[in-house]
Amino acid sequence: MLQNIFFGLSLGAVYSLIAVGFALVFNILKFSNFSHGGVMSFTAYAGYLAYIWIFDGKVTGVAMFVAVVLTAAVVGSLTAVGIERVGFRRLRSNQAPVIYYFISSITLGILLENIITIFASSNFYSYPVFFSSKNVDLLGTSFSVADFVTLLFSTAALGALLFVLYRTKLGLAVRTVSFDVNTATLMGIDPNRVVMATFALSGALGGISGVFLGMNYSLYPQLGQLVVKGFIASVIGGLGSITGAVIGALLLGIIEVGLIGLVGSGWMPACVFVIMLVFLLVRPRGIAGVIVQEKA
């Protein structure tokens, strides 16, 4: 039981990285950025290549893991910033309707997947094993080292993000733009830079989650489609809310592990979507959706 909850939390931690990367962009531009999936696939491969070409044989274990994750995070940042330039900058300057952003993001996501397929084929690659398959014994049950590190590292990444968002000037600017671009501009905040920074942050999280996904599921071009998990977590937690995304993702992780035990892994995804639908029907603003009404 305790072991299952822990496994669920570790899975949820990965989902929360995806969901928060997703929520960051939603917060600013108010659309569901499915190109995030493409970024995750891309960075998972980037981390893999960095392992083969650069780090293999030079470092091992945790150091290797950190090196690969950081590479992926940097590549993710750059990719996401590039995506913003190519796919969204012009839409913003033309004040295009939200649906255009949505279509553009899906297109770019698929494009990235297919570029990967061209260069790396649609084969599955197995990700390097960073951690021994040893278990840690704690509180009478045993936990795998990989899950432990996943949980720790995700928490650290989210902590760093929250620090940026709530303790720095950049974070203030990001949160200001998420309320109202025009008023933020009046305060002297450059929306172009804020959007770029947001995509960079989101891409870095996407990069980290890409590596985790690669470790959990092996590497293939459509790996990034697991962005759907982040989307579901965001819906459960409340679209656009960072804390909501984290809560939703952790819940989703635990629910999934629980469902696998109850109905098996075949039925699990179906049940998860039903849960999301229920949320959309009953509480569309999600768990954390406390929307402050602006007075007229």
Partner 1 sequence: MSYLTVQDLHVSYGPVQALRGVNLHVEEGAIVSIIGANGAGKTTLLNTLSGIVKARSGSVLLRGKPLPERACNIIRAGMAHVPEGRKIFPGFTIEENLMAGAYIVDDKQLVEQRRNAMYARFPILAERTLQQAGTLSGGEQQMLAIARGLMSDPGLLLLDEPSLGLAPLVVKAVFELIREIRDKGGKTILLVEQNAKKALALCDYAYVLENGAIVLEGKGEDLLSNPAIRKAYLGAEDS
Binding residues for partner 1, rule: CB under 8 A, are 169, 172-173, 175-176, 179-180, 182-191, 292-296
Residue 239: alpha-carbon gap to chain centroid:
13
- Shortest approach of partner 1 to residue 168 CB, angstroms? 11
Residue 148: alpha-carbon gap to chain centroid:
19
Give the tokens for residue 284: 């569309």
Spatial distance between the Cα atoms of 253 and 68, rounded to a whole number of angstroms? 24
Do the beta carbons of residue 245 and residue 233 sit within 8 Å?
A: yes
- Shortest approach of partner 1 to residue 180 CB, angstroms? 6
- Shortest approach of partner 1 to residue 9 CB, angstroms? 28
- Shortest approach of partner 1 to residue 242 CB, angstroms? 12
Q: Which is nearer to partner 1, 99 or 296 (CB)?
A: 296
| Helix/strand/coil percentages in the chain, nearest 5 | 75, 5, 20
- Shortest approach of partner 1 to residue 285 CB, angstroms? 13
Q: Which is nearer to partner 1, 57 or 188 (CB)?
A: 188
Asked whether the CA dihedral 89, 108, 199, 179 is positive or negative, the reply is positive
Number of neighbouring beta carbons within 10 Å of residue 95 = 7
Q: Which is nearer to partner 1, 118 or 292 (CB)?
A: 292
Q: Which is nearer to partner 1, 165 or 235 (CB)?
A: 165
- Shortest approach of partner 1 to residue 191 CB, angstroms? 7
Do the beta carbons of residue 288 and residue 243 sit within 8 Å?
A: yes
Spatial distance between the Cα atoms of 235 and 241, rounded to a whole number of angstroms? 10
Q: Which is nearer to partner 1, 27 or 35 (CB)?
A: 27
Q: Which is nearer to partner 1, 8 or 237 (CB)?
A: 237
